[in-house]
A = this chain, B = another copy of it.
Amino acid sequence: MNKTIVTGPPAAHSRSAVQLLAALEAAGKRNTAQRYAICRALEKHAADHPTVAEIYAAVRESFPMISQATVYNTLQTLKRLGVVIELDIANHDHIHYDLDVTPHVNVVCRHCENIADLHMRTVTSLIDEAAARSGFQIQRTAGLILYGVCPDCRRRRGDGRAAQEGEPQDA
């Protein structure tokens, strides 16, 4: 549950609140105070890959009477516009949101549940090869998810465990 960012440049590729709002406007969506607050909350927590609950909590600070439904609706709208992506992470109860829609990998720690962004040349190679080999037209290139243990947790909990096939998904 701690939200220390483990790796990677802070929000370097993430869209800003302004960009999100611009996308909404460009799509002919209305500019409401609630949406503004939600976009600000997204921007602020971008590096955490926030869940709906976290965004809801953050928005409430400045907008105490907002309803969850509005948060869900707006997030769905942003998702459909393609300016935000959903991260469905195994064994996590909530959906996470990522403002970075450029090709990258997300690495998830099984212990502290932190999520890091990783930008690598290899991602593009992988996608190109996958497209060539499968005949698929790959549309979404962000949010490739890898699971493991972050450096902090390795240190904290003792290391040693082999990173092998057959590694169980849970503790």
Contact = CB atoms under 8 A, between A and B. Distances in A.
Copies in the complex: 2
Contacts of A135: 6-7, 150-151, 154
Interface string A118-150: 101011011101110111111111101111111
Contact of A136 (B79, B80, B109, B140): B109
Contact of A147 (B81, B89, B105, B138): B138
Nearest to A8: B134
A163 B138 contact: yes
A168 interface: yes
Interface in A79-105: 79-83, 85-86, 88-91, 101-103, 105
A17 interface: no
Interface residues of A, number: 60
A129 to B, nearest CB: 5
A86 B80 contact: no
Interface of A: 6-8, 79-83, 85-86, 88-91, 101-103, 105, 107, 109-110, 116, 118, 120, 122-123, 125-127, 129-131, 133-142, 144-151, 154, 159, 161, 163, 165-170
